[in-house]
Chains A and B, each alone.
Chain A
Amino acid sequence: MPKTLNIDPRVSIIEDRLESVKRIIAVTGFKGGIGKSVISVSLALALNEKGFKTGLFDMDFSGASGHIILNSAGSFPREDKGLIPPYVHGIKFMTAAYFSGDRALPLRGSSVSNAIKELLTVTIWDELDFLIMDMPPGINDTALDVIKLVKKAEILPVQIPSKISEDVLKRSIEIYRELGIKITGTVENMSASSKPGFYSQIFYDKALEKTLGCPEKIMKTCFYGDVLKLALKVSRTSKMSKREGEREKTRLVKQNGDIPGEVKK
């Protein structure tokens, strides 16, 4: 009997699809409700405001919320040799919510992987300076798929002032480091006071909630002001990435076991 082999053709093309994207930043965190989505959307708005070509990909398929924060109602990808994400407030925006409408999307792990692979295969991002990925909480199927399939993704972990949040984050960061993933820097959200040691701090802003769904209003909040500082910091780090190819860097890190952000030639 000749052996029959089933092959998933999608994985071969995913890196090509992201080839013209300079930097991919996965906004992660190890709990829900800590501000990953509002930060992802605002970071994308801020980078766009600073003149960077920016995309936003809502990877939280079951808990999609970017479309609500951005208010993308009425937008839908265009078909042209793939799916072209529409511009929403200047950002190329992709979400599974385009396709699930207002329905709940109950997905088990393997289905999450499949759906992510599908969208990574058919979405044509074209040239971007930044692609922000709004991740679901935790190191789960989505995070592991992104690590496996999107080699140049870097991680922007978000935490809130809480012992538990800090502790879970510390352990998770260890995992990312072991895997040789670049960590852009840890963000503390909902801060109450200035503390040293964070890459960036975003303060609690009780005015934020009412602005969700209206990007013009979000962009006038103090919260957005903090995110703008974060965006500047993130974009400055990119000088290093330009100097050496991202892929090369990951390889060096795997060889040397260094922290990706700190590799220098």
Chain B
Amino acid sequence: MHEWALAESVIKTIKSGKNIKKGSPVEVLFGELQDIDREIFSFALDELLKQEPELKKTRIKIETEKAEFECVSCGAKFDLKAAVNTPEEKENIHFIPEMAKAFIKCPKCRSHDFEITKGRGLSLRVTGNGEKCRKH
């Protein structure tokens, strides 16, 4: 249930109003690598929203993003399918996605030195109110 802690960070961010206009739709992006449990996360989000009447109108959409890796040693690009992991390793990556560096190797050159270029973990995406964050 550590999804709850992540959901709290989402609510706190929306509540702060920083870079997010009140009432504008928010997209929560799940990186494939972190493998967040959507059901638990949504449940936590709903429960937390109930405690925040001012966020009642906020629409939150959850999207997932495929993980992509790029090897720093040989330049090969690969995805999660290329990385076979035990359930225990997957669980460790679920807690800290960077643990992928311990358990996943470049399929081409076996290096552990790769970048997670996409689909790492949790992030938020807001559209249409970029003007609020620009400093002039």
Residues of A within 8 A of B (CB): 2-10, 12-13, 16, 61, 79-83, 96, 99-101, 103-108, 111-112, 114-115, 118-119, 121-122, 124
Contacts and interface: CB of A to CB of B under 8 A. Distances in A.
B130 A10 contact: no
A13 B9 contact: yes
A6 B98 contact: no
A104 B102 contact: yes
A87 to B, nearest CB: 19
Contacts of B123: 6-9
A105 B99 contact: yes
B5 A122 contact: yes
B86 to A, nearest CB: 11
Given A3-B131, A7-B126, A9-B124, A121 B13 contact: no
A5 B26 CA distance: 10
Contact of B92 (A80, A99, A112, A114): A99
A95 to B, nearest CB: 11
Contacts, number: 123
A3 B96 contact: no
Contact of A118 (B20, B101, B121, B128): B121
A101 B95 CA distance: 13
A78 B91 CA distance: 13
B56 to A, nearest CB: 19
10 contacts: A4-B125, A5-B130, A6-B123, A8-B123, A9-B122, A101-B102, A105-B102, A106-B112, A106-B113, A114-B120
B130 A111 contact: no
A3 to B, nearest CB: 3
B19 interface: yes
Nearest to A7: B124
A256 to B, nearest CB: 27
A81 B5 contact: yes
Contacts of A101: 92, 102
Contacts of A82: 1-2, 4-5
Given A106-B101, A107-B98, A5 B125 contact: yes
B119 interface: no
A79 B129 contact: no
B127 interface: yes
B90 to A, nearest CB: 11
Given A9-B12, A13-B12, 14 more contacts: A3-B127, A3-B128, A5-B127, A5-B133, A9-B13, A13-B5, A13-B9, A81-B5, A96-B96, A100-B102, A105-B98, A106-B113, A112-B98, A122-B2
B49 interface: no
B78 interface: no
Contacts of B128: 2-3
B102 A118 contact: no
A10 B120 CA distance: 13
Contacts of B16: 12
B103 interface: yes
A203 to B, nearest CB: 37
Nearest to B29: A6
Interface string B1-39: 110111011101100101110000000010000000000
